[in-house]
Amino acid sequence: MKDLYLVYKNLTRKKLRLFLTSFAIFIAFLIFAAVTALQGALNSGVEMSADNRLVVFNKINFTQPLPYAYINKVSGVDGVKNVTFANWFGGYYQEPANQVVTMAVDPDSYFEVYSELVVTPEQKANWLQNQAGVMVGERLANVNNWQIGDRIPVSSNIFSNKDGGQTWDLVVEGIFTANDPQVDTGYMVFHYKYFMETQSWGGDYVGWIVLTTDDPALNEQVAKAIDENFANSQAETDTSTEKAFNKAFIEQIGNIGLIIFGVVFMAFFTILVLVGNTMVLAIRERTGEIAVLKTLGFSSPRIFRMILTESCLLAFLGGLLGLGAAYLVVGGLSQMMARFLPNLVLGPDIVLQALGYMLLLGLITGIAPAYRALRLNIITAFARG
């Protein structure tokens, strides 16, 4: 503790240098934390995917439907536990810019397959009884201030109903939550049967099938069996784990992980060189003072620790400010983009990771000058003047 004052005075002796160096570190950690939070938001669907949940899509691409008859065939595959299905609706509320993710689903099985979603038995029973009922996710309900019993006109930018319009009047019968705050509840689901009966295109198909297996170890075997079952049919299937599908979906806009790694690596490398160089110069300037401290009786390991502490303090000073700024930036963006990136948060995992990098940055940039000071010979240092 006694040395901390010395460390502090050394750190702050050249204010402009301290400002510029810590500003560079500030920028690096601002970028790191903000970009990592963005990556987390994009990957949250991947992270929250159940291990034993598979999705079956048309092999051409996921916008092509599958015959309704596939559902029973998939149910009969060994290792399959529960099966449900869904169809994209493409909804918006009041105006096209106000997109609401809406799917037509099988009400009997949907919440069995998505067991992380929580809905009260009473609300579920009401929903099952009302064909025009809709179950709204908590986040979506909060954004639009919807309550149970509200009648909400939802329009589709894909489908028309048999009246020639594009709007369905749905009644909020329930608001579902999730057993984990990371699970997205920013969407709503309504009856598949009602949708098929009221939309003008007709047909006997579903958008995709979702199933759970008895054991994640069976995933590969089940996926293979399903795809082989529909091989050479008019609608061949592509079955994958939900996690793999979500990851592939996200990667359509680029390999986010690689981009983030690149940005963070470049930022950190630049900062590492800059801070490292600054520390080396700062300690070199103090060669005489270090020799005096050693002469007075300060041990070499103690001086080594003081210099490492100084470089770590510098890293934490800039880094914590950068982290604080990132917290504000991410908080602001999170409110602005709540509809599209519901999980844009600077969570404790990012904070811990950043703290780890700060420590690493401090140690790496401090180790060379600290070692030089450790090895510094008093007589040689004084002889250099």
Partner 1 sequence: MSDENLFELKAVAKRFKKGKETISIFDDLNMTIKRGDFLAIMGPSGSGKTTLLNLLGGVDQPTGGEISFDGARIDGLSEGELAKWRANNIGFIFQFYNLMPMLNAAKNVELPLLLTSLSSKQRQQRVDTALQLVGLADRAKHMPSEMSGGQLQRVAIARAVVSDPKLLLCDEPTGDLDRQTADEILEMLQLLNREFGKTIIMVTHDPAAARYASHTLHLDKGQFVDKEDDDVLQEKSA
C-alpha to C-alpha distance for 321 and 64, rounded to whole angstroms: 49
Angle at alpha carbon of residue 148, lines to 123 and 163, rounded to 5°: 100
Q: Tell me phi and psi for residue 241, to 5 degrees.
A: -70, 155
From CA 302, how far away is CA 297, in angstroms rounded? 10
- CB nearer partner 1, residue 97 or residue 383: 383
Q: How far is the CB of 372 from partner 1 (least distance, A)?
A: 16
CA-CA-CA-CA torsion sign (278, 283, 284, 285): positive
Interacting positions 71-130 with partner 1 (CB under 8 A) = none
- C-alpha–C-alpha distance, residues 88 and 57, integer Å: 12
For the bound state, the minimum distance from the C-beta of residue 378 to partner 1, rounded and expressed in Å, comes to 5
DSSP 102-149: EEEE-TTTHHHHSTTEE--HHHHHHHHH-TTEEEEEHHHHHHHT--TT
3-state secondary structure of 298: coil
CB nearer to partner 1: give 164 or 297: 297
User: Of 16, 145, 379, 384, which one interacts with partner 1 (CB under 8 A)?
Assistant: 379
Which span sits near partner 1 by CB under 8 A: 9-17, 111-119, 212-220, 357-365?
9-17
378 sits near partner 1 (criterion: CB under 8 A): yes
Contact 66, 209 (CB under 8 A): yes
Nearer to partner 1, 12 or 98 (CB): 12
Residue 384 interacts with partner 1 (CB under 8 A): yes or no: no
Of 11 and 100, nearer to partner 1 (C-beta) is 11
Residue number with CB closer to partner 1 (48 or 292): 292
Nearer to partner 1, 162 or 302 (CB): 302
Nearest to 51 by CA among 126, 115, 132: 115
Helices (H) and strands (E) in the chain, counts: 14, 13
Q: Which two tokens stand for residue 224?
A: 């293979």
Residue 15 CB, shortest distance to partner 1, in Å, is 11
CB of 141 to partner 1, least distance (A): 59
Residue 344's closest CA among 325, 329, 323, 361?
329
Structural element, H or E, at residue 270: helix 256-285
Contact call for residue 6 and partner 1 (CB under 8 A) = yes
The count of residues interacting with partner 1 (CB under 8 A) is 22
Residues 225-244 close enough to bind partner 1 by CB under 8 A: none
Q: Which of 9, 162, 193, 284 binds partner 1 (CB under 8 A)?
A: 9
Which residue, chain included where needed, has tokens 């609608």? 235
Burial class (CB in 10 A: 0-12, 13-18, 19+), 299: exposed
Nearer to partner 1, 128 or 374 (CB): 374
Could you say which residues in the range 280-319 bind partner 1, by CB under 8 A? 288-289, 292-301
Closer to partner 1 at the Cβ: 14 or 81?
14
- Which residues, 10 to 69, sit near partner 1 by CB under 8 A? 10, 12-13
Q: Determine the interface stretch with partner 1 among 8-16, 37-45, 121-129, 194-202 (rule: CB under 8 A).
A: 8-16
CB of 21 vs partner 1, minimal distance in Å? 17
Segment 318 to 347, residues that bind partner 1, using CB under 8 A:
none
**What's the min distance (Å) between Cβ of 365 and partner 1?**
20
Interaction site with partner 1 (CB under 8 A): 2-3, 5-6, 9-10, 12-13, 288-289, 292-301, 378-379
